[in-house]
Amino acid sequence: MSAVFSGKTVLVTGGATGIGRATCIAFANAGAAVLIGDVDDRAAETVAAITAAGGRAAYVKADVTSAAAMTALVEECVSRFGSMDFAFNNAGVLPPQRPLHEVTEAELDLAIDVDLKGVFFAMQAEIRHFLKVGGGAIVNTASVGGVIADPNMSAYVACKHAVVGLTKAAAIEYAQLGIRVNAIAPGFVVTPMTQHWADSADFRAAFFAQNISGRAAQPEEIAGTVLHLCSPSASFINGALFTIDGGQTAH
């Protein structure tokens, strides 16, 4: 294992599958201890993969929609591993696709609670800790839906645009206190959450027609940017949004 993050600890929400899982494994391979907060018990499989390779990781069942749970998660991270140096706020949901006028209140509430408030509550708890220890780095998962819009995804697009704004606002507030806050905007990545798109010939044809790469990404192709944003090499990157979309938004 590389020792780039040796002696460091990262907190990851939504580490059970997809981008979160790949990023947890990448951090562990780079020497970091990993604490996963998730409501999906498949996070235990991520931990098992890390520990089988000689890394350090643990899983705590934690709901990002609860501010108290996020505070407790940060405390558990510090208690278990002795520190929390980085945070990757990745937990999210993808509401059913339907026209804006047909979105139910329950669907809108779920998107706001997880995709926006979940990031907000996690950041609050993480920033309180970083203020005590003199700094740290936060990376939030937004989406190309935080930059552009697609039809029938109004609730998701609204929340991801909000995550981009929240990232910039926090970066401005805490830049001189040693806390960096950035976000990533992945394009179409094949994960359990997006598998229904990957399985749709019609979707693939429409998507690949407007994406110069002609393919979807794998979660491992997103993880490297998260690690970079937490590394010393990114010490002057703050309040930025890194689009990882194979050229989708350049089209």
The pLDDT tens digits along the chain (251 residues) read: 468 999 999 999 999 999 999 999 999 999 999 999 999 999 999 999 999 999 999 999 999 999 999 999 999 999 999 999 999 999 999 999 999 999 999 999 999 999 999 999 999 999 999 999 999 999 999 999 999 998 999 999 999 999 999 999 999 999 999 999 999 999 988 777 766 766 667 767 777 777 778 787 899 999 999 999 999 999 999 999 999 998 888 87
Q: Does residue 197 fall inside a structural domain?
A: no
Q: Does residue 18 fall inside a structural domain?
A: yes
Q: Does residue 94 fall inside a structural domain?
A: yes
Residue 59 among the catalytic residues: no
Of 35, 26, 32, whose CA–CA distance to 6 is shortest? 32
Q: Where are the alpha helices (DSSP H) in 53-150?
A: 67-81, 105-111, 118-133
Residue with tokens 């806390």, as numbered in its chain: 179
Catalytic residue chosen out of the listed positions 27, 156, 207, 242: 156
Whole-angstrom distance, CA of residue 128 vs CA of residue 44: 27
Q: Does residue 64 fall inside a structural domain?
A: yes
Total number of domains in the chain: 1
Coil vs helix vs strand at 248: helix
Q: Does residue 90 fall inside a structural domain?
A: yes
Of 23, 123, 37, 136, whose CA–CA distance to 83 is shortest? 136
The CATH number of the domain where 27 resides is what? 3.40.50.720
Domain range spanning residue 51? 9-191+219-243
